Amino acid sequence: MKKIYILVCLLFLFSGCSTTVPAVVKYKISPIIALEEKQISTCKTKSIKVSSAFTNSSLMSKDMSYVLGNSKVYEYSESAWLNNPNRAVSREYIKMLRALGIYKSVQESKSRSRADLIIEIDLEDFMQYYSEDLKTSYSIVHINLSIIDFNTSEIISTKTFKSKVNATKLDANGGVKALNTALKNVLSQSAKWFIKGCS
């Protein structure tokens, strides 16, 4: 009888240890944009450096948040970003500008080389939103860009870009897809602005 009691206790003990923890799905920011064909540029003699995006602390983390209604902010427990949104967005601007080929060179913020121009990125919004009744969801990307002369520190040009995209699924996956589409829209608009400034 004593052996059976010990066996039952061990069974309960090991069954409690076998509880599975849900895996955290990591999402990548990866907008795919179609760029205009390379053209004559007046900026070909200038180098440009892309600064790390300025934003609030929540977008400097890999935690994935969403907004319910107007002000309630929550975090997904089983979803996270592969890279911090502020770094990922800065990286997408570097890739876009290099692909455009309208500047002599495009450098990262950590580069030790000197640049003629600096791009400051203010990432004002990069979030998924839900209605109070949880029946609808959308994502917003809101970015302000400033081109600054390195030598004089004067702002040469500034522009704000914003895109709102409805989510097709009411979950983290749906929000990420909408964010990628919204970022693609903002990058496409930004590319046209850069091209116009160098035409």
Residue 33 pLDDT: 78
The per-residue pLDDT for range 173-183, each reduced to its tens digit, is: 999 999 999 99
What lies within 8 Å, CB to CB, of 109 at 6+ separation is 49, 50, 51, 52, 90
pLDDT at 57 over 90: no
Dist CA 53 CA 123 (whole Å):
6
In this prediction, residue 13 has a pLDDT band, given cuts at 50, 70 and 90, of very low
**Using one digit for the tens of pLDDT, what is the confidence trace for 108-140?**
988 888 899 999 999 999 999 999 999 999 999
Tokens of 81: 């970003």
Place of tokens 């930004």: 190
Mean pLDDT of the region 71-79: 91
| Domain 39-197 -> CATH class | alpha beta
Cα 125 to the center of its chain, rounded Å:
10
Widest Cα–Cα separation across the chain: 91
* pLDDT for the residue 8: 46
Alpha-carbon span 175 to 177, nearest angstrom: 5
Cβ–Cβ under 8 Å, residues 45 and 51 = no
CA distance 65 to 73: 7
Q: Where are the domains of the chain?
A: 39-197
- Please indicate, yes or no, whether the overall pTM of this predicted structure exceeds 0.75: yes
State how beta strands 72-81 and 25-27 pair.
parallel
What does the pLDDT read at residue 24? 85
Report which secondary-structure segment, H or E, holds 2: helix 2-17
